[in-house]
Structures are given as C-alpha cells and as structure tokens.
C-alpha cells in the first residue's frame, strides 16, 4: 500500500490533537505552530489552522445523504466496531449513524459519518468482504 497525504483545515490545534490522537487513536507526527500531522491508519494527514467556513454541500450515496466534502478510512470489521465504541464512550455525535448499506451487493459495507471539532466530515467504512472495495 502506498500511503496518501491529505491536508485539511482546522480551527483549534489542541482540539484536533485530542480528537485525532486520543479519540480516533492516531499517532501524532510532526507539527508547527499552525499545523499538526497524524498517522491516519497508515496515511499522513495534516491539519492546518484556517478559519474559512466549511461547505455544507451533500451528495446522495445509495439511500444516504452524506457530506460531500469528507475523508476517512476503510477499516477491518472489528476495528470499525471498536471505533464506534470509542466514539460512543466519548459522547461523540454521529452525522450518519453506523449502518450497513448496499446490503447483499458486491460493495456491501458498514459506514458512518462524524465531524471533527473543526467541522470536517469523516467517513469510516468496513467491508464484510474486503475484495468488494472497488467492485460495482
């Protein structure tokens, strides 16, 4: 697997450190006064301080209306469920509750959406059959 890098806006670096580091479970990487990197399931994400407003655009995926601008990770089924437990234990609200979509189809997946403290939307997925990630 080749790791990807993605940069995104946050409005409070310490809230980002707590959310991504403690709640999501990402290792903290390098940082400066205006940004902080995280090991996001083997990928590098860089949270940069920026107070520009976020887009509220949505898109339909299956029967779900999801935040158009989002990123996330595809996790093993047990890891996906463990993250749900950590989020619930921390009282974190779901934008879209955990559920299975495309049931019985090649791309059957568990999915949920949350927002980080800066309002960035994240989707976490899990496939009962990982080979279905790119099937249609």
Question: Quick check: helix, strand or coil at residue 12?
Answer: coil
Instruction: Look at residues 82, 87, 70, 131 and name the one whose alpha carbon lies nearest to residue 106.
Output: 131
The residue written with tokens 């205006």 in the block is 34
CATH architecture of 5-134: Roll (3.10)
For the chain, what are the domain ranges?
5-134
| Residue 121: exposure state from Cβ atoms within 10 A (0-12, 13-18, ≥19) | buried
According to the model, what pLDDT value does residue 136 have?
A: 60
Question: What distance in Å separates the CA atoms of residue 109 and residue 28, rounded to the nearest whole number?
Answer: 29
| CA-atom Rg of the chain in angstroms | 15
Neighbours of 135 (CB within 10 A): 12
The count of other CB atoms within 10 Å of the CB of residue 128 is: 11
pLDDT in tens, the chain (136 residues): 788 999 999 999 999 999 999 999 999 999 999 999 999 999 999 999 987 766 778 888 888 888 888 999 999 999 999 999 999 999 999 999 999 998 988 888 999 999 999 999 999 999 988 887 777 6
Residue 107 has a pLDDT of 83
- List, in sequence order, every residue forming a beta bridge with 121; answer none if it has no partner: 70, 115
């Amino acid at each position: 697997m080749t790791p990807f890098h993605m940069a995104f806006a946050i409005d409070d670096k310490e809230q980002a450190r707590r959310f991504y580091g403690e709640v999501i479970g990402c290792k903290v990487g390098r940082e400066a006064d205006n940004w902080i990197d995280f090991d996001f399931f083997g990928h590098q994400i860089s949270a940069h301080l920026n107070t520009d407003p976020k887009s509220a655009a949505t898109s339909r995926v299956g029967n779900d209306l999801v935040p158009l601008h989002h990123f996330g990770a595809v996790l093993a089924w047990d890891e996906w469920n463990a993250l749900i437990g950590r989020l619930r234990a921390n009282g974190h609200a779901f934008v879209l509750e955990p559920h299975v979509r495309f049931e019985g189809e090649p791309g059957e997946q568990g999915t949920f959406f949350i927002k980080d403290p800066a309002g960035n939307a994240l989707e976490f997925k899990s496939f009962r059959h990982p080979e279905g990630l790119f099937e249609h």
